[in-house]
Amino acid sequence: MAYQMQDDIREVYFTEQQLADKVAELGARITADYRDKNPLVISVLKGSYVFMADLTRKIDTPCNVDFMVVSSYGKGTKTTGEVQIIKDIEQPIDGRDLLIVEDILDSGVTLSYLMQVLTARGARSIRLCTLLSKPSRRKVDVKVDYLGFEIPDEFVVGYGLDYAEKYRNLPYIGILKPHVYGGEE
């Protein structure tokens, strides 16, 4: 029998329908809050690309999009605490309303740094939309304006989230079997 990515998933945590419902709810809230503001929606790549694509289609007000790659993880599964901007946004942000879209808020180190940098560049306002939050892993307090789901400290993949650049294309979010990433069962 051929290997299937699903073989590495211990359980489905959020189904396609649960994700679609939450994205529609978040999109409606963002639409109401940003009516007539033309926000710049910034996706923190790579993990948020699926979420942002779905979310922006549910925002019913003009907005621009841009992308950043910011990392504090290197190749590991735990943050190093040192943040690097690998790919910066291309649009000027002075006086703009920004909405940062993130896949998962873990330690808070990366997002806290990113928000400080963007504030220093002259953004009028910055709000954060994250699909997932792991409050038990927080090292730095970060205000979340739009939250999809709070989750326990489990290694989740799918819907853009990865392990070693795999599993991003799963249409749901699942918990990865620990033996896949060297954890304990």
Count CA atoms within 13 Å of residue 184 on its CB side.
Answer: 0
Which of 173, 175, 153, 168 lies closest to 46 in space, CA to CA?
Answer: 168
d(CA 93, CA 111): 17
d(CA 17, CA 65): 25
List the beta bridge partners of residue 126.
98
Q: How many CB atoms lie within 10 A of CB 150?
A: 12
Taking the CA atoms of residue 156, residue 161, residue 5 and residue 79 in that order, the dihedral angle to the nearest 10 degrees is -60
Nearest 5°: the CA angle 164, 136, 21 is 70
- The single residue of 103, 106, 141, 153 carrying the catalytic annotation is 106
Please provide the size of the chain in residues: 185
Active site residue 106: yes
Query: Hey, what are 9's tokens?
Result: 């998933």
- Catalytic site positions: 106
